[in-house]
């Protein structure tokens, strides 16, 4: 599977003769379906022009940190949040040193410092510079920070010397980038996910619903696929494409969602309920369109069944993860929901008119009986990947305790 499809990748180019290879790399990433934005350092522009990269990426190239126009269009913080992966290719010895030192004195280094997404570098330099203790110490620091170091390759160099320091070929980098998105953490697991809103009909043309877009749930489905899981996604009415290899079941009402979930819950290992299911539905659905008559009308609502609690109460319950959307007392309400519904984990997100619902970004607090992790504001795709890693680890820990205890 091409895991690069729809991925947002920043190709960062620093000053090295290998910068010419970034043109081919950018073209190949786009051919694989990735959305690519190129960021160049000043010295990179001595080797290759932004115009070439603009033509190949199909987007304006970002070069300046202190450029009011560029910052207004998509500033360094937005770029940092936008990316699913930052790939610095080529990464010069100087750029590696600045990265390891946490510098932010140009656009590319500032983006790297501001981003919490995956960072990979493809070093390119003279073999003596690569072997130098300073470079090796910088590389060791970056490895400790979980930066992926891709290469370098051995061979003849532009300076006439032979040794380690050649940037990997675009084809090799493409393969590695594909693998970066595949963790295998959930291989062999069946993951059931709900996403989006439900619609509760009042009459044939009106309904009660909410602003959930499904983005959070769909991002989690994609991340679970990348982690090697079999994914069934029960989706309320949303305008989103189905991620590759996900089995999608479309539903409309809370009751349809409940039926679909219970049909699949017995065979799943992990259940993640991101859907914003209506808590109440109209008691009666009018057969015909309700006519405007009195100045006031009352709608009688009845409680819907709690799908999440029903799954957690199954005799052979999967590892069950709920979401809590709260406008206040976030952690207190979330923890009490987790306890009341007997969940293995709950993911709390603060919501409001411009937060959580129908946004590309989110902020999560992940709670389980004896633990808590906060994930700062980031793209839903990046958060989904981090969440899937945490769920896989927690589910594995519980499994191990049960099998040995
Ligand atoms: O879809 P997006 O636009 O990307 O927005 C994402 C989101 C904000 C909708 C998502 O991150 C989120 O918080 N989803 C849960 C919203 C919600 O309904 O929370 P709740 O606190 O009301 O419900 C608690 C949990 O019970 C949820 O896991 C919900 O799926 C589940 N539930 C609720 C009612 C019900 N009848 N059955 C349920 O299973």
Percent of the chain with pLDDT over 90: 87
Range with the poorest average pLDDT among 100-114, 154-168, 209-223: 154-168
Residue 190 CA to ligand 1 center (angstroms) comes to 21
Q: Is 284 exposed, middle or buried (0-12, 13-18, 19+ CB in 10 A)?
A: exposed
Nearest to residue 271, comparing CAs of 347, 210, 215?
A: 347
- Pick the more confident residue, 1 or 375: 375
112 is catalytic: no
Residue range 282-298, pLDDT digits in tens? 999 999 999 998 999 99
Range with the poorest average pLDDT among 3-7, 279-283, 296-300, 362-366: 3-7
- Is it the case that residue 96 has pLDDT exceeding 80? yes
To test the pocket of ligand 1, the residue of 235, 275, 327 to mutate (highest count of ligand atoms within 8 Å of its CB) is 275
Q: What is the pLDDT of residue 405?
A: 58
- Residue 216 alpha carbon, nearest atom of ligand 1: 4
Q: What lines the ligand 1 site, CB under 6 Å?
A: 194, 196, 212-216, 254, 273-277, 279, 304, 306-308, 322-325, 337, 349, 351, 356-358
The 10 Å CB-count burial string (b at 16+, else e) for 255-276 is bbbbebbeebbeebbbbbbbbb
Residue range 210-219, pLDDT digits in tens? 999 999 999 9
To test the pocket of ligand 1, the residue of 304, 325, 346 to mutate (highest count of ligand atoms within 8 Å of its CB) is 325
- Is it the case that residue 398 has pLDDT exceeding 90? no
CA-closest residue to ligand 1 atom 5: 357
Residue range 66-80, pLDDT digits in tens? 777 766 667 888 899
Residue-averaged pLDDT of the chain: 94
- Residue 325 alpha carbon, nearest atom of ligand 1: 13
Residue 340 CA to ligand 1 center (angstroms) comes to 15
- Residue 195 alpha carbon, nearest atom of ligand 1: 1
Residue range 326-360, pLDDT digits in tens? 999 999 999 999 999 999 999 999 999 999 999 99
Query: What is the rounded distance in angstroms from the CA atom of residue 296 to the CA atom of residue 397?
Result: 55
Residue 326 CA to ligand 1 center (angstroms) comes to 10
Residue 276 CA to ligand 1 center (angstroms) comes to 4
- Is it the case that residue 184 has pLDDT exceeding 60? yes
- Residue 310 alpha carbon, nearest atom of ligand 1: 39
Angle at 263 between CA 258 and CA 267, to 5 degrees: 125
- DSSP H or E segment with residue 4: none
402 contact partners, CB below 8 Å, separation of at least 6: none
Q: Which of 153-162, 266-275, 392-401 has the highest mean pLDDT?
A: 266-275
- DSSP H or E segment with residue 282: strand 280-282
Residue 272 CA to ligand 1 center (angstroms) comes to 10
Q: What is the pLDDT of residue 160?
A: 87
Residue range 213-247, pLDDT digits in tens? 999 999 999 999 999 999 999 999 999 999 989 99
Q: What is the pLDDT of residue 230?
A: 97
Domains of the chain, each with CATH number or no CATH: 2-180 (3.40.50.1950), 190-288+295-404 (3.40.50.10300)
Residue range 121-160, pLDDT digits in tens? 999 999 999 999 999 999 999 999 999 999 999 988 888 8
Q: What is the pLDDT of residue 75?
A: 83
């Amino acid at each position: 599977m091409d895991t690069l499809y729809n991925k947002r990748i920043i190709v960062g180019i620093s000053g090295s003769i290998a910068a010419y290879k970034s043109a081919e790399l950018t073209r190949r990433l786009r051919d694989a379906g990735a959305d690519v934005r190129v960021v160049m350092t000043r010295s990179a522009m001595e080797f290759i022009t932004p115009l070439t990269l603009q033509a190949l990426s199909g987007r304006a190239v970002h070069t300046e940190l202190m450029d009011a126009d560029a910052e207004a269009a998509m500033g360094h913080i937005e770029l940092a949040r936008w990316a699913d992966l930052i790939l610095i290719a080529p990464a010069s010895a100087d750029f590696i040193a600045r990265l390891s030192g946490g510098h932010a004195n140009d656009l590319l280094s500032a983006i790297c410092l501001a981003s919490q997404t995956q960072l990979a570098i493809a070093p390119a330099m003279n073999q003596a510079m690569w072997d130098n203790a300073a470079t090796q110490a910088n590389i060791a620091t970056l490895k400790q920070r979980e930066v992926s170091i891709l290469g370098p390759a051995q061979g003849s160099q532009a300076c006439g010397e032979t040794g380690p320091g050649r940037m990997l070929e675009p084809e090799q980098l493409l393969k590695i980038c594909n693998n970066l998105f595949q963790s295998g953490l959930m291989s062999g697991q069946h993951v059931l996910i709900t996403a989006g809103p439900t619609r509760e009909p009042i009459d044939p043309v009106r309904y009660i619903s909410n602003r959930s877009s499904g983005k959070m749930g769909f991002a989690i489905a994609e991340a679970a696929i990348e982690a090697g899981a079999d994914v069934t996604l029960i989706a309320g009415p949303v305008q989103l494409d189905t991620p590759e290899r996900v089995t999608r079941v479309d539903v409309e009402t809370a009751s349809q969602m409940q039926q679909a979930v219970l049909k699949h819950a017995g065979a799943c290992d992990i259940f993640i309920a991101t859907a914003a299911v209506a808590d109440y539905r109209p008691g009666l659905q009018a057969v015909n369109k309700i006519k405007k008559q009195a100045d006031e009308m009352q709608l009688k609502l009845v409680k819907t069944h709690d799908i999440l609690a029903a799954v957690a109460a199954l005799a052979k319950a999967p590892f069950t993860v709920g979401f809590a959307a709260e406008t206040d007392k976030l952690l207190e309400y979330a923890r009490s929901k987790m306890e009341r519904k007997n969940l293995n984990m709950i993911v709390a997100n603060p919501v409001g008119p411009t937060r959580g619902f129908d946004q590309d970004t989110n902020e999560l607090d992940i709670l389980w009986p004896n633990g808590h992790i906060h994930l700062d504001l980031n793209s839903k795709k990046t958060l989904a990947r981090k969440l899937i890693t945490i769920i896989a680890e927690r589910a594995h820990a519980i499994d191990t305790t049960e099998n040995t205890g």
